[in-house]
A = this chain, B = another copy of it.
Amino acid sequence: MDPVEFDDEELEQIRRYEDFTTIDWIQDSKLERSRRIRNARNTYAPRRGPRGEVTIPWVWARVRGAADAAQTWFVVSLVGVCIGVNAAIISIVSEWFSDIKMGYCSDGWWLNQQFCCWEMEGDEVDGCETWHTWSTVTLARWIIFIMFAAIFAFIASHLVRALAKYAAGSGISEIKCILAGFVMQGYLGFATFFIKSVTLPLVIASGLSVGKEGPSVHVACCVGSLVASAFDKFRRSQSKTREIITAASAAGVAVAFGSPIGGVLFSIEEMSHTFSIKTMWRSVFCALVATFTLSAMNPFRTGKLVLFQVTYDRDWHFFEIIFFVILGIFGGLYGAFVVKFNLQVAAFRRKHLANHGVAEAITLATITAMIGYFNRFLRIDMTSSMAILFRECEGGGNVYNLCQTHAQWRISNSLLLATIIRIGLVVITYGCKVPAGIFVPSMAVGATFGRMVGIMVKAMYTAYPHSGIFKFCAPDVPCITPGTYAFLGAAAALSGVMRITVTVVVIMFELTGALTYILPTMIVLLVTKAVGDFLGTNGIADEMIRFNGFPFLEKEDHVYNVSVSAVMRKDLQTLSETGMRVKDVESMLSSTNVKGFPIVSADGSLTLVGYIDRSELRYVLERARKTRGRFSHTPCLFTPQGYDHDDSDGLEEDASERFFAPTTEGELQFWPWVNQTPMTVSPQLPLEIVMQIFKRLGPRVILVEDHGVLCGLVTVKDVLRFIATEKPEYRPSWDERGGLDGLLEEMWTWGTNLFSRILTWGRRIVRR
């Protein structure tokens, strides 16, 4: 007999997972199975007639099934529509905020520069007549610019701090863990959704080197979770909710990059824990609905889904591969650099800045604005900057004299400076206490670097048009398209820092809409991947998971050469199947805080008979206390002894009542809540196979049993602890001393010393 017998609320009460625990996928699928069996029993099991003819109950059951399936589609569509609308609003608002830093529209304060200058004469950069800049004096402009940045950063960080702590950061690593079964209550709640949606435009506009793509995934997942929780079917099942969240994450990327299939592949490559066709199909659907909603709202009024969508008319030449390889190497190095130092900054932040989130954000925004104002590629919004850098020179691509030969050195210097400064800003900014993605900043870094390389190659071509490799150029048409270098550089940097490849290829494919530049993209990403593998870099999301200590096993397989017996916990708290009294159980519960107890036979031989979760043990005790009064000497029964063992098919409605009836004077029966079939393995099994079981089947605990005798217990945390302590080569890089965090630490000490000295000095003056 198993929990089948209790009504659903009962079940939920028992199975409500505590915060910061992992769900048990096997238990979850057992529950789901019970639910489906119960549904099948409750409704008359419909079959076709004896000769295969169609009967009315059969049709009716089919229709009901279809309606049930339709509900899921409805939920997924609704999620998609909400994500699309939300993304459009965020796009429009961010652009307005970005422009308001520079000036305002005299036709109406609600118009941004683009709409203000819609169908008017005027330059893309300097605006038109109805667009007024705040001041004509450079210094005043600069100060206003910085002021706006600081104010935006203040509002955003204050809102996050006051109302929704979980809205900070990118959210991708946490969502990965949630999809793998981790429970973080409120992480996908309404407060997070609302605050993250509201503060995201502010943060983007503040000019901080953070992107909206990661947060956009987080916001999308919030939408998925919120919409799903409005429906019974999903609220009851942790795993079904996670299916919707996976689909929502695909839609989040889809709207962020205007790339529906790229979003789906992102959800497969980066997010989803267990892969299933059903979830993939829902992801496709959700991503396409969201993309359509976005394109119907047409936030940029250009028909483009994202600002930096491009079309290239020209083909590339084989000799350009040499330069593409340079871009690939840059991407790999950039990724390794950012991951390493950003984690050191994160370690420093955790140590010293935990309570100074608002001050940190304002400081960063001020610094960014102060420096950024003087570089044309840093001053404007990162997506607009990419849109400019990606363009071909022909047909209006010559913004900022990017295509003029006479300006090529000045522009190159400017781009190099922008690359270097932006890398520094990304390292110190990513992870601060505002919504902050790393996708777009990385792409912006890659784009500036790539465009610089492109301009230099073009300069070489202009200088020596007929020599060496440039012989292959057709004589009368432009040979080198620097915009494509920017594009490939962006792909390389994105792939370098996230360590995703397929997704990037597809996103780039959907951004250009042509196969032409797929081969260069792939070459660049292969080089990036090779460099990353060579340096042993992990993706920043995975490193963040490790940094935060979430119980998450990486998808990649390593070889450890130990068996599970080296990893398992041996000091177990076990319950005996009979012979324990309630007070023994209670004292055990109070003396330890382990999450569950193996149950062994009473004869002292440690033969394993089952496993019970702490929460279920407590639930039964509390429930019994309500109905029975004093019962601390009542014996406990953990196996169905004396009860008909084969009764498991009799699904009785009042079973729970039966077990807790006040008249029952006998043993307290725990056995209906005992998991009689826990996952067991032999102690000699290689650790790698145990990790595969955790990853593919998802039990919460695996019991180690040697010929029927319990000898240990292993959880994901035990495995992670083993990896962290026993394998020094997997030592996380932020533990290495002497890095950036050391420097920051010294600066911090110096700064606080200075501050306290100033304070004492000030006090002394006041006292005088």
Please list the residues of chain A having a beta carbon within 8 angstroms of any beta carbon in chain B. Answer: 26, 29-30, 33, 36-37, 40, 47, 52, 62-63, 65-66, 69-70, 73, 260-261, 264-265, 268-269, 275-277, 280-281, 284-285, 288, 291-292, 295, 501-502, 505-506, 509, 513-515, 518-519, 522, 526, 530, 533-534, 536, 555, 559, 561, 601, 607-609, 649, 676-678, 680-682, 684-686, 688-689, 692-693, 696-697, 705, 707-709, 729, 736
- A559 contacts across to B, CB distance below 8 A: 33, 36-37, 40
Give complex CA distance A295, B518 in Å: 13
Give complex CA distance A608, B706 in Å: 10
The one of B268, B277, B689 in contact with A30, judged by C-beta atoms closer than 8 angstroms, is B689
Give complex CA distance A47, B728 in Å: 10
A65 to chain B: closest CB distance in Å? 7
Give complex CA distance A47, B727 in Å: 12
Are A515 and B66 within 8 A (Cβ)?
no
26 pairs, CB–CB < 8 Å, chain A vs chain B? A29-B688, A29-B689, A30-B686, A33-B559, A33-B686, A37-B561, A63-B534, A65-B534, A66-B530, A69-B530, A260-B515, A261-B509, A269-B280, A284-B505, A288-B505, A288-B518, A292-B515, A292-B518, A513-B514, A677-B684, A677-B685, A677-B686, A678-B682, A696-B696, A696-B697, A707-B708
Give complex CA distance A518, B275 in Å: 24
A54 to chain B: closest CB distance in Å? 10
- A688 contacts across to B, CB distance below 8 A: 29, 33
Give complex CA distance A684, B295 in Å: 53
A689 to chain B: closest CB distance in Å? 6
Give complex CA distance A682, B610 in Å: 10
Give complex CA distance A536, B709 in Å: 46
The one of B281, B518, B677, B689 in contact with A501, judged by C-beta atoms closer than 8 angstroms, is B281
Q: A561-B37, A686-B30, A689-B29 are in contact. Are A607 and B708 (CB under 8 A)?
A: yes
- A514 contacts across to B, CB distance below 8 A: 513
Taking A29-B688, A265-B280 as given, write out 6 further A-B residue pairs in contact, using a Cβ cutoff of 8 Å, ordered by the A residue number: A261-B506, A281-B502, A284-B501, A292-B519, A295-B515, A708-B709
Select from chain B the residue with minimum beta-carbon distance to A693.
Answer: B697
Are A288 and B708 within 8 A (Cβ)?
no
Select from chain B the residue with minimum beta-carbon distance to A739.
Answer: B52
The one of B37, B269, B281, B608 in contact with A277, judged by C-beta atoms closer than 8 angstroms, is B269
Q: Which 9 residue pairs of A and B lie closest in terms of their CB atoms, listed nearest first?
A: A708-B708, A696-B696, A275-B275, A677-B685, A677-B682, A36-B559, A707-B708, A37-B561, A284-B502
Give complex CA distance A265, B73 in Å: 21
Are A607 and B689 within 8 A (Cβ)?
no
- A680 contacts across to B, CB distance below 8 A: 680-682
The one of B264, B708, B736 in contact with A52, judged by C-beta atoms closer than 8 angstroms, is B736
Are B526 and A73 within 8 A (Cβ)?
yes
Give complex CA distance A52, B735 in Å: 11
Give complex CA distance A513, B513 in Å: 7
Give complex CA distance A513, B516 in Å: 13
Give complex CA distance A561, B561 in Å: 39
Give complex CA distance A490, B69 in Å: 25
The one of B518, B676, B729 in contact with A682, judged by C-beta atoms closer than 8 angstroms, is B676
Are B65 and A533 within 8 A (Cβ)?
yes
- A689 contacts across to B, CB distance below 8 A: 26, 29-30, 677
Are B684 and A692 within 8 A (Cβ)?
no
Give complex CA distance A705, B676 in Å: 13
The one of B62, B533, B686 in contact with A534, judged by C-beta atoms closer than 8 angstroms, is B62
Interface centre among A509, A514, A561 (most CB of B within 10 A): A561
- A509 contacts across to B, CB distance below 8 A: 261
Are B555 and A277 within 8 A (Cβ)?
yes
Interface centre among A33, A276, A518, A678 (most CB of B within 10 A): A33
- A63 contacts across to B, CB distance below 8 A: 534
Give complex CA distance A708, B609 in Å: 10
Give complex CA distance A519, B292 in Å: 8
- A607 contacts across to B, CB distance below 8 A: 707-708
- A277 contacts across to B, CB distance below 8 A: 269, 502, 555
Give complex CA distance A19, B430 in Å: 55
A494 to chain B: closest CB distance in Å? 15
Select from chain B the residue with minimum beta-carbon distance to A30.
Answer: B686
- A676 contacts across to B, CB distance below 8 A: 682, 684
Q: A275-B275, A609-B707, A708-B707 are in contact. Are A522 and B684 (CB under 8 A)?
A: no
Give complex CA distance A505, B288 in Å: 10
Are B62 and A288 within 8 A (Cβ)?
no
The one of B69, B505, B681 in contact with A533, judged by C-beta atoms closer than 8 angstroms, is B69
Q: A288-B522, A522-B285, A729-B47 are in contact. Are A29 and B261 (CB under 8 A)?
A: no
- A705 contacts across to B, CB distance below 8 A: 708
- A47 contacts across to B, CB distance below 8 A: 729
- A261 contacts across to B, CB distance below 8 A: 261, 506, 509
- A533 contacts across to B, CB distance below 8 A: 65-66, 69
Q: A65-B533, A697-B696 are in contact. Are A280 and B268 (CB under 8 A)?
A: yes
Select from chain B the residue with minimum beta-carbon distance to A505.
Answer: B284
Give complex CA distance A276, B555 in Å: 8
- A295 contacts across to B, CB distance below 8 A: 515
Give complex CA distance A608, B708 in Å: 9
Select from chain B the residue with minimum beta-carbon distance to A272.
Answer: B275
Give complex CA distance A703, B63 in Å: 41
A250 to chain B: closest CB distance in Å? 11
Give complex CA distance A571, B162 in Å: 67
A324 to chain B: closest CB distance in Å? 15
- A70 contacts across to B, CB distance below 8 A: 530
Interface centre among A261, A269, A678, A685 (most CB of B within 10 A): A261
Interface centre among A47, A268, A677, A697 (most CB of B within 10 A): A677
- A736 contacts across to B, CB distance below 8 A: 52
Give complex CA distance A701, B637 in Å: 34
A45 to chain B: closest CB distance in Å? 9
Are A280 and B502 within 8 A (Cβ)?
yes
Select from chain B the residue with minimum beta-carbon distance to A609.
Answer: B707
Give complex CA distance A680, B63 in Å: 40
- A506 contacts across to B, CB distance below 8 A: 261, 284
A645 to chain B: closest CB distance in Å? 9
Give complex CA distance A65, B708 in Å: 42
- A693 contacts across to B, CB distance below 8 A: 697
The one of B40, B264, B522, B707 in contact with A608, judged by C-beta atoms closer than 8 angstroms, is B707
The one of B519, B609, B697 in contact with A288, judged by C-beta atoms closer than 8 angstroms, is B519
- A515 contacts across to B, CB distance below 8 A: 260, 291-292, 295
- A276 contacts across to B, CB distance below 8 A: 555
- A37 contacts across to B, CB distance below 8 A: 559, 561
A261 to chain B: closest CB distance in Å? 6
Select from chain B the residue with minimum beta-carbon distance to A688.
Answer: B33
Give complex CA distance A73, B522 in Å: 12
Select from chain B the residue with minimum beta-carbon distance to A37.
Answer: B561
- A265 contacts across to B, CB distance below 8 A: 280
- A52 contacts across to B, CB distance below 8 A: 736
- A73 contacts across to B, CB distance below 8 A: 526
